[in-house]
């Protein structure tokens, strides 16, 4: 049987990645695969409690990075690794690239510290495929639901998101084997068609 794969969805807030997760999960299920969908920060009871703190409380940027990785440690132990060991495919709405993009790019935490945490928390695990939903800042801003109260990150200024987006694109260039960039300014149908071609080769 084919080895189970770990797929992550990334992009700045408002890129629209979360909308496409059920579609990709269904494409895989149609092949008879069992798929676990999850998210970060979160994915476990402890992780969801940490998510609540991370999205709503102001804290030192290193505290923020440490809590992101603490939630991730639990997520790997409770959800991601057991699922892959069972042969289930895993789709996560964000993973470590988000820490490099938001805490590293957006907040300017040193890459060395993030790499240290990455080596601690998942020395032997990387996503098999990372779909980076990329959009210009203005498009992402316009998409953020005007009705909903924005969380701590969504309230950040344009320079923060510009640095976050740049770091995502830098990582995509650094790890071309696992990253695929999805132009998220396209229509829903065009994005789905692109996703279908990317998933078909897995």
Q: Would you say 10 or 84 has its CB closer to ligand TYD?
A: 10
Q: Which CB, 35 or 105, lies closer to ligand TYD?
A: 105
Residue with Cβ nearer ligand TYD (34 or 108): 108
- With tokens 């476990």, the residue in question is 44
For residue 159, what are its two tokens? 């320079």
Nearer to ligand TYD, 89 or 102 (CB): 102
157-166 long-range contacts (CB < 8 A, ≥24 apart) are: 160/106, 160/107, 161/12, 161/13, 161/106, 161/137, 162/137, 163/105, 163/106, 163/108, 164/12, 164/101, 164/102, 164/105, 164/106, 165/12, 165/101, 165/105, 165/134, 165/137, 166/105
Of positions 13, 118, 134, 167, contacts ligand TYD by CB under 6 A: 13
User: In the complex with ligand TYD, which residue's Cβ is closer, 34 or 110?
Assistant: 110
15 binds ligand TYD (CB under 6 A): no
Which residue, 107, 36, 27, 97, is CA-closest to 69? Answer: 97
Site residues for ligand TYD, window 114-143 (CB under 6 A)?
Answer: none
Interaction with ligand TYD in 30-49: which residues (CB under 6 A)? 40-41
Q: How far is the CB of 28 from ligand TYD (least distance, A)?
A: 21
Contacts of 178 (CB under 8 A, 6+ apart): 126, 127, 128, 129, 130
How many residues sit close enough to ligand TYD to count as binding (CB under 6 A)? 13
Instruction: Candidates 25, 153, 162, 180: give the one binding ligand TYD (CB under 6 A).
Output: 153
Q: Is 160 in the site for ligand TYD (CB under 6 A)?
A: no
Q: What strand order describes the sheet that includes 129-134?
A: 35-39, 89-93, 6-10, 129-134, 179-183
Which residues ranging from 82 to 101 are in contact with ligand TYD (CB under 6 A)?
93-94, 98-99
Footprint on this chain of ligand TYD (rule: CB under 6 A): 13, 18, 40-41, 68, 93-94, 98-99, 102-103, 151, 153
């Amino acid at each position: 049987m084919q080895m189970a794969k770990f797929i992550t969805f990334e992009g700045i807030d408002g890129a629209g990645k979360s909308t496409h997760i059920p579609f990709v999960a269904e494409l895989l299920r149609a092949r008879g695969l069992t798929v676990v969908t999850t998210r970060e920060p979160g994915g476990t009871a402890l992780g969801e409690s940490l998510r609540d703190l991370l999205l709503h409380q102001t804290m030192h940027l290193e505290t923020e990075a440490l809590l992101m990785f603490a939630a991730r440690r639990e997520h790997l132990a409770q959800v991601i690794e057991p699922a892959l060991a069972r042969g289930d495919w895993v789709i996560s709405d964000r993973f470590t690239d988000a820490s490099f993009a938001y805490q590293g790019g957006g907040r300017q935490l040193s890459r060395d510290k993030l790499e240290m945490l990455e080596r601690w928390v998942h020395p032997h695990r990387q996503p098999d495929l990372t779909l980076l939903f990329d959009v210009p800042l203005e498009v992402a801003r316009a998409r953020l639901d005007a009705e909903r109260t924005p969380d701590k990150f969504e309230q950040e200024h344009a320079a923060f998101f510009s640095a976050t987006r740049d770091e995502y694109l830098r990582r995509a260039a650094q790890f071309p084997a696992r990253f695929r960039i999805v132009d998220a300014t396209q229509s829903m149908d065009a994005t789905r068609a692109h996703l279908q071609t990317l998933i078909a080769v897995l």
